Chain A
Amino acid sequence: AQSVSQHNHHVILSEAASLELGCNYSYGGTVNLFWYVQYPGQHLQLLLKYFSGDPLVKGIKGFEAEFIKSKFSFNLRKPSVQWSDTAEYFCAVASNNAGNMLTFGGGTRLMVKP
């Protein structure tokens, strides 16, 4: 069965620290990869996505993610976090083997201390 794993459930950082959130998946076939952010009390927003091409993807708000096919990973990074980045982050994968059904990881709750 397809699955998405986010290993860090809770992360606490100080402002200006660097961020890396891990995401691993187990799927066959071609995959499309996503990171979503959910600010407190708000709906899901797309941060970035990877479909093909350059495996280093740049998204909104200074976030980027790198697709490493050999490691089945799509880790999210940001060089310097801000207090306003406090949110929950979800990695998600859609595989054409699974009819492009979007499966979410369990989420990582990030708290940035001012």
Chain B
Amino acid sequence: SQQGEEDPQALSIQEGENATMNCSYKTSINNLQWYRQNSGRGLVHLILIRSNEREKHSGRLRVTLDTSKKSSSLLITASRAADTASYFCATDALETSGSRLTFGEGTQLTVNP
């Protein structure tokens, strides 16, 4: 079954605005990761947050994790046209620890210049 569900499915914003994407999951996890996929390309890892962490930053990215609500958010600040891509959350479930990541359905972000 699908572990991660992302919201919204699509997001369109203007350059300079912030973009927030949400991810919900069902089972207990070791960690949650966010990936980015440019059109026609493979997925690229952005950031990993462990189950005992609540917030993590990397450049213009901020990720939060709420294990009680089984949800995570990815915030991209001061967005740029080059941020246009699909963003996926992926969970490493406790029961299958380290053996696989289960991906959400992705959010298509469009940043208009």
Chains A and B are bound partners? no
B residues contacting A by CB (< 8 A) are none
A residues contacting B by CB (< 8 A) are none
